[in-house]
Amino acid sequence: MVVAAVVNLSFQFLELDSHRNCFVSGNHLPSITHANILPYSIRFRSGIKAQGLEHLLPFKNWTYPYGPIFSVVLSSFLVLVQGWSCFSPEFQVVDFVSFYIELPIMLIMFVGWKLLKKTKWVKPEEMDLVTDRFDQGMTTEEREEALGAAKLSSWSSEKTVLGKAKCIAQWLFA
């Protein structure tokens, strides 16, 4: 939202009628968001694995690790090609800015945060995966009960069509 507001304000400041195009081209923001979130998801999973905590995950991603990597590549590709129309038939500066202004802004925000807050990359073995956990303070029995309530049905254990349909619904909507 901040990026969209900055883009809109910058076009209004320049008094260009085509500033409304930034809202039309803003439909690529989910791709940018996923291209930024997915690497952190992969790093989180690498921290879980490095610390031997994979057994604590109630849900398993059957595409891991290739699915998230494929998603990063695909999202990045979509971010780069969604603005192709600004290059054809001839280069249009306003359209180029409306499609790609989010990229340098996000890079500036990321680098600025790293420099301002002096944060550093944490090795997967050193990640704090214990503080503020949802089950902190639970007994083993309470934790197992909570995890048992959250588990999805197993596709392979279901024998009926209705049972398999339930598994598909849980996979899609849970």
Task: Give the residue from 94, 93, 102 showing the smallest Cα distance to 1.
Answer: 102
Q: Do 107 and 166 share a structural domain?
A: no
CA angle (15, 21, 27) in 5-degree steps: 140
Has residue 126 got a pLDDT over 90?
A: yes
Q: Do 72 and 7 share a structural domain?
A: yes
For 42-95, how does the pLDDT look when each residue is reduced to its tens digit (9 = 90+)? 999 999 999 888 877 777 788 888 998 999 999 889 888 888 888 888 999 988
pLDDT attached to residue 8: 58
pTM of the model: 0.61
Q: Do 149 and 124 share a structural domain?
A: no
Total domains present in the chain = 2
Q: Do 152 and 107 share a structural domain?
A: no
**Region 19-48 average pLDDT:** 74
Q: Do 25 and 87 share a structural domain?
A: yes
